[in-house]
Amino acid sequence: MTKLKTQSLHKRNSELAQSNKQLEILSNGIFANGELPTFAEKIEETGQFPMKPKKLEILQINLGYMCNQTCDHCHVDAGPDRKEIMTVETMKQCLEVIKNTGAHTVDLTGGAPEMNPNFRWFVEEASKAGIEDFIVRSNLTIIRANKKYYDLPQFFKKHNVHVISSMPHWTRGKTDKQRGEGVFDMSIKALQELNAIGYGMPDSDLRLDLVYNPSGAFLPTNQENMKKDFKKALLEDFGIHFHDLFAITNLPIARFLDFLIASENYEEYMYQLVEAYNPAAVKNVMCTNTISISWDGWLYDCDFNQMLELKVDSDVKHISEYNEDVLNDRNIIISQHCYGCTAGAGSSCQGSVAD
């Protein structure tokens, strides 16, 4: 069993549960008094404002904010108390889009997407569309959370799902501190089960990648070095194999923003992000090749803008009126949280974006 780390901001009735409050914090203080440049000012220095999308490659679909975990730094503010779940009707609209999209990747996320009662039906239907890369972002513990999920690894395999899972560290202490007591042991067990049916094994086509994000108010280091350390430790200690590791920077929104403010790290963290700004990362950040679809069908430039309720700046704003050509002509909506994706080697749901 795992123990919940905290409650969602929504459950706590925190004012940070409101996206406009978060945006207000990100726009004021050090960004209003001239101490630090706004993100718009920064990208203007290299003539990259306004940001425009490139070719659409990824449809990221959020099946709901419900999750069996309440990790410290969740940018979704997910948890068991979140009841926002994608309906079958919206799923059907997504399936129509998947059949006709020019994107090569469909990326299912949450919360724990598997907790949506229609998750399996949706995966079965979507996989018929012949998408090149079909990703499910699984938190691993869900596989062991209840016996109704025990066969998920086999289900993933049957539909050739690419599994991407969060793993903040190769040690129990750091993992449980961020994700809840017992999460590490259960995640290890889930990884071993995935390995047992071929996921993550060398030369296997069943892709299993891990996502690392820092456990506190600091940035991730070089992704390749981190991958080597993870591979060595997980193999030596638990016999676990995986393919790739994506290092993701924590963006200053939702529960991570709450943590930064409560721990008096907010300003220092924003300084770190701005100082690590890499103009080369801007052209490859995920909003340039992704459309994020929320549980209720609204369209966003990325998962983070979804959580800040910043809908796309386009005549097409909802899955029911989806039109890729119209969408691709939009300007990308930015704010100071975007510094999280352009720090150092950059950050996206697929990890670093610049050399």
* Residue 137: strand, helix, or coil: strand
Question: Does 244 engage in binding with another protein (CB under 8 A)?
Answer: no
- Residue position matching structure tokens 């352009």: 342
Using the rule CB under 8 A, give the single segment among 40-48, 165-173, 279-287, 330-338 that binds another protein. 165-173
Question: Does 171 engage in binding with another protein (CB under 8 A)?
Answer: yes
User: How much helix, strand and coil, in percent to the nearest 5, is found in the chain?
Assistant: 40, 15, 45
- If the CB atoms of residues 226 and 293 are measured against another protein, the closer one turns out to be 226
- If the CB atoms of residues 153 and 168 are measured against another protein, the closer one turns out to be 168
* 225, 263, 320, 323: which one binds another protein (CB under 8 A): 225
* 174, 189, 283, 311: which one binds another protein (CB under 8 A): 174
Question: Does 219 engage in binding with another protein (CB under 8 A)?
Answer: yes
Question: Does 351 engage in binding with another protein (CB under 8 A)?
Answer: no
Question: Does 236 engage in binding with another protein (CB under 8 A)?
Answer: no
Least distance from another protein to the Cβ atom of residue 188, Å: 17
Output phi, psi for 22, to 5 deg. Answer: -65, -45
Question: Does 154 engage in binding with another protein (CB under 8 A)?
Answer: no
Per DSSP (E only), the strands in the chain are 58-62, 105-109, 133-138, 162-166, 208-212, 245-247, 290-293, 299-300
Question: Does 216 engage in binding with another protein (CB under 8 A)?
Answer: yes
CA 216 to each of CA 55, 104, 186, 274: distance values in angstroms, whole numbers, following the listed order: 34, 34, 22, 17
Question: Does 100 engage in binding with another protein (CB under 8 A)?
Answer: no
Residues 273-302 that bind another protein (CB under 8 A): 275
Buried b (16+ CB within 10 A) or exposed e, 287-312: bbbbbbbbbebbbbbbbbbbbbebbb
Question: Does 266 engage in binding with another protein (CB under 8 A)?
Answer: no
Question: Does 221 engage in binding with another protein (CB under 8 A)?
Answer: yes
